[in-house]
Amino acid sequence: MLIRIGFDIELSVATPMALIYLLRVHPSRRDDLVAPEQLSVSGGLVPEEYIDTFGNHCGRVNVPVGMPTVRITNDALIRDSGELDAIDPDARQRDPTELPFSTLQFLLPSRYCEVDSELLPFAWQQFGGIAPGRQRVAAICDFVHRHLTFDYQRARPTRTALDAFREKEGVCRDFTHLAVTLCRCMNIPARYATGYLGDIGVPAAPYPMDFSAWFEVFLGDRWFTFDARHNERRMARGRDAGDVPITMCFGANSLVRFDVVTEEAAEPAAAVAA
């Protein structure tokens, strides 16, 4: 199927500043774009684009004096098979002594994922008796899905995995941070992922479209996708949300507009005729 994706984000800025964004389609899906992304920044600003250490396509905008707002828009068509995420019931959990070096950073504590906290003994008590591998990760997802209540009105950008565990509420990033932390506590490399997550083929939600967060774990010899918030098989990757902010401004700012689009699109007429 074809999916139209895009966004319209506007920020009020108080001073000249650098603005970093992680809003491009992840390079791993670049070949699925039917046409190049139409990313535009207001005021004729030309972003400097780069690939970060996690392989994400990022951009930097240097906001000049006298520009009160910055508006970033994008529109694109991407092709997707519509197939569910791959699973492998026999994917083995590997001991840290045999993990690829590139995965070791995803076992460590990070800003929002306090592996070295009360979550460590809790995780071993709760999940230590479950067979290692996919079954253990699924049990962690089941726990987080039941333990937290989703509530947009209670969102807080400073909430960590431990906060979410104690407060028993949060939004998608909190579900993800807690699941990632519990996996790392069990010596399973886990990384945070964020991007478009549409509602195609599922009941429409009563709130506006948004970006979403899920996570990936390393089992066997590859990364597998999990989603503790929706607890079903289903842009950017990092250790936690601190590595992959949608936007980060190095100065005072406030959000003026935030619209996200992800919807099924019709095939081009030429393709249909063929």
Please state the three-class secondary structure of 104-160 as a single string.
HHHHCCECCECCCCCHHHHHHHHHCCCCCCHHHHHHHHHHHHHHCEECHHHCCCCCC
Average pLDDT over residues 110-134: 96
Owner of token pair 């993990």? 99
Sign of CA dihedral 38, 42, 48, 50: negative
pLDDT bucket at 87, cuts 50 / 70 / 90: confident
CA distances from 184 to 86, 105, 166, 200, 264 (A): 21, 10, 18, 32, 36
Q: How confident is the model at residue 89 (pLDDT cuts 50, 70, 90)?
A: confident
- Is the model's pLDDT at 203 over the cut of 90? no
- In contact, 9 and 43? CB cutoff 8 Å: no
What pLDDT does 230 receive? Answer: 77
In this structure, which amino acid lies at residue 244? V
Q: Which domains does the chain have, with CATH numbers?
A: 2-82+246-273 (2.60.40.2250), 96-233 (3.10.620.30)
Instruction: Check residue 265 and give its pLDDT.
Output: 81
Q: State the burial class of residue 147 (Cβ atoms within 10 Å of its Cβ: 0-12, 13-18, 19+).
A: middle
Question: Which residue has better confidence, 241 or 47?
Answer: 47
pLDDT at residue 185, rounded to an integer: 98
Query: Which pLDDT band, with edges at 50, 70 and 90, does 135 fall under?
Result: very high
pLDDT, one tens digit per residue, over 27-62 is 888 898 998 899 999 999 999 999 998 989 999 999
Sorted by sequence, the CB contacts under 8 Å of residue 97 that are 6+ apart come out as none
- The residue among 85 and 58 whose pLDDT is bigger is 58
End-to-end CA, the chain: 16
Give me the half-sphere count of Cα atoms (radius 13 Å) on the Cβ side of residue 205: 11
Distance separating alpha carbons of residues 249 and 260, to the nearest angstrom = 20
Q: What is the mean pLDDT of the chain?
A: 87
